[in-house]
Amino acid sequence: MEYIAALTPSAVMAVAFVALIVTIVRSQGGANKAKEDAAVDAALARAESVKAEGSEGPDGRAGA
């Protein structure tokens, strides 16, 4: 029965950790979610436009 006493604190900590992660995941979003999404979308669009400009050849056509 000592093994149960030895494993109980670890099991309790594991359950608490899982509950913490679930709480964090569920609390994502809210009032600022649209603002954060817009910022990420703008950054991705900027990165894609830079990538597209870099892939053009010297004559302005893709595929140099």
Domain edges within the chain: 13-50
Give the pLDDT confidence of 31-57 residue by residue, as tens digits: 777 888 889 999 999 999 988 887 665
Q: What is the pLDDT of residue 40?
A: 92
Per-state percent for the chain, helix, strand, coil, to nearest 5: 75, 5, 25
pTM (predicted TM-score): 0.45
Tokens of 56: 């053009």
